[in-house]
Structure 1
Amino acid sequence: MPDADQAPRPTFTTREEVMFFDTDCGGVVHNIAYLRMIETCRTKLAASMGMDLKTMAETKLFPVVTRTEINYRRPAKLGDTLVIHGKLAEVQRARFWCEFEMKRESDGELLVTSRQSLSLVQMPEGKPVRLPKEWDW
């Protein structure tokens, strides 16, 4: 838990409209679409932490998902607008955790929660590296 003197941990919020390609034949969002939306939010969160796509391509240092936990609480449906809130939740020496909440914009209903573990990996070696000191939130 961060001290009172420390800056708050990074957060980022994205919005997604549920499209036809996100749903099954009943108009309900399928699980891979939720993961795509979480990926978008996580990518923007990483960019806000200095790991934008261009920098990653130049440094060959990439955050790699090592575990995903996801809880589907209520279904999203075709035409819903979803608000995805992501945050850096925990930082260890060589691993960090991001957490996500997905809510329907129209009524604020909590639809999905997710937690992901990531490591920074130097490519092309595929070698995990320690997290930057600046991440000591």
Structure 2
Amino acid sequence: MPLPADLHTSTREEVMFFDTDIGGVVHNLAYLRMIETCRTRLAAKMGMDLKSMADTKLFPVVVRTEIDYRRPATLGDVLLLHGRLDEMQRARFWCAFEVRRESDDALLITCRQALALVQMPEGKPVRLPKDWQA
């Protein structure tokens, strides 16, 4: 099935105690967890929902992450994450993300991730479907 031309999704996260360090500032691992949630929702729109992945054993695997931390989020902030399909190549695809604070729309994080499709349990990379290129 061909992918939609403007594939995107959004998620909303409230910063919890476990997302922060002792100073109440969100730590980098928490941002990556939030981005993973957004990316998982994006994958579902690409036909790779959790059930399908479990059934086919074909998984999108992160092979590279580029992230820029622009401003900190703190305990209690509500964050809006926007993710989109950014680029398609033969064997991998890129997703781009923005994290913004809901209260003032401040841009906190920009991120790009490269993913490859991997067939498990063999761990064998698989070319992207041809109809994804359309």
**Common fold, TM-score beyond 0.5?**
yes
Cα deviation, 1:28-69, whole Å, max 9, x if unaligned, reads 000000000000000000001110000000000000000001
Residues 18-37 of structure 1 aligned to structure 2 (within 5 Å) = 18-37=15-34
Q: Does 1:61 align with 2:58?
A: yes
Q: CA deviation at 1:8?
A: 2.2
Percent of pairs identical after alignment? 73
1:11 corresponding residue in structure 2: 8
C-alpha distance in 1 between matches for 2:120 and 2:25? 38
C-alpha distance in 2 between matches for 1:92 and 1:113? 21
User: What TM-score do you get using the length of structure 1 for normalisation?
Assistant: 0.93
C-alpha distance in 1 between matches for 2:86 and 2:109? 17
Tell me which amino acid in the other structure corresponds to 1:105: E
1:71 corresponding residue in structure 2: 68
Q: Does 1:97 align with 2:94?
A: yes
SS at match of 2:35: helix
Structure 1 stretches of 4+ with a deviation exceeding 2 A read: 6-9
Q: Does 1:87 align with 2:84?
A: yes
C-alpha distance in 2 between matches for 1:135 and 1:15? 28
Q: How many residues align?
A: 132
Q: CA deviation at 1:7?
A: 4.6
Choose which of 127, 130, 133 in structure 1 pairs with 2:127.
130
Tell me which amino acid in the other structure corresponds to 2:54: A
Structure 1 alignment gaps of length 5 or more: 1-5
C-alpha distance in 2 between matches for 1:28 and 1:60? 37
1:52 corresponding residue in structure 2: 49
Pairwise CA RMSD of aligned residues? 1.2
Q: CA deviation at 1:133?
A: 2.3
